[in-house]
Amino acid sequence: NGGMTSNIIKALQQQLKTSAGSSSVHPITKDCYLEMYGYLRVKEHSETLAEHGTIGDIMELFTDTARTICHRHGITTNEAIIRTVDSQVDGFVKLFRSTLQTRAQASREAGLALLKLDDYQTAPFASGGRMRSNSELSSARNSAQRQSLILDNAATESKLISNWLKDAFNVPDSEHRQLVAELKNEVNQETATYDLRMCLLVLKKDQSFAGKPENFRTPHAYSIWKEREITSLEQLIHTYAMRQSYMSGEQIGAGRLKLEASAIESMGDEEIAAAFEYIPAKAAQHYRMLVYKAITHDIVDRIDTANPATPLQLSNRAKDLLKQLSIAWRISASYRETCYLDIINDYYEQD
């Protein structure tokens, strides 16, 4: 999915700085690159993108930055903003491609990201990009193209993961179709963003299910973790909100949370858990159950028929699902790794 690494982020950061310093660069381009460079220079931002970010997140971040710079330069009409952002995104793709090409031979991740970046050669981020047949196309048509591409990609990915879940849990076809139909009517990006805002709220009150002061050896260790978690959540909320704005054409507001911040401190774990829409109570236990199912379906059930010379591993669909849930459910990297190894070890001991 075009995942990032710390080395890719650092290389991009340096390339932005170098390009912005060129005497021939356009003032708007220079400001876009410097703004992006300044954002990536913040340690918490670069670490979050390196751990959780993808090519899509970088492109969305730059597109949002370009829109902001347009307003700073007095570009306010919709058509002018679309035209300017379109041009800036096209230039940024070339810069990013150059950055990845210099690292592709030495880095598998950079090579995969380079392939993923090809999707944005025709991806209509601002106004239809190169999909635009001529500059006369209306902004409405361009917006429809943008929404269609994003929704099609999301629908395809969701369908693949949905089919994997059906097989892993042995769900009958008729029941699976019914569940999918129900979820399509209930699940949306805005409610997912709402859950992340709730995570941030309870975290600031030291009541997060992902970690509390008593779960850490020292107050200092908890303070460091809390600060990093807050930064990560704020980045995710920003990313989710941008995705929703691309799909719906509207910005997500903070909305009205079910719990008042002042009331959280006096509430128990079950009451707090009930305030979330998609994040289950005891999320870590649910995550472990899904890892168990994934290992059973993708590895254990295939041992007898697999080629002994080919190592078995989780399918891409399982990996995608577990990664998305670990981010949304705030499952730590250390728990994810330990959970996987524990279950593998349990199978070995059983044999």
Q: What are phi and psi of 262, to 5 degrees?
A: -70, -20
What b-and-e string marks burial along 299-326, b requiring 16 or more CB atoms within 10 Å of the CB?
Answer: bbeeeeeeeeeeeeebbebbebbbeebb
pLDDT tens profile 4-30:
888 889 999 999 999 999 988 999 999
Across 316-334, average pLDDT? 87
Across 256-276, average pLDDT? 60
- Calculate the average pLDDT of the chain: 78
Contact (Cβ atoms closer than 8 angstroms) between residue 211 and residue 163: no
Across 215-237, average pLDDT? 86
What b-and-e string marks burial along 255-276, b requiring 16 or more CB atoms within 10 Å of the CB?
Answer: eeeebeeeebeebeeeebbebb
Nearest Cα neighbor of 238 from 290, 200, 287 is 200
Distance of CA 97 to CAs 108, 114, 126, Å?
15, 6, 19
3-state SS, 108-174, equals: HHHHHHHHHHHHHHCCCCCCCHHHCCCCCCCHHHHHHHHHHHHHHHHHHHHHHHHHHHHHHCCCCHH
pLDDT tens profile 135-190:
333 443 444 444 444 444 555 667 778 888 989 898 888 888 888 887 776 666 67
pLDDT tens profile 26-48:
999 999 999 999 989 888 888 88
- State the pTM of this model: 0.53
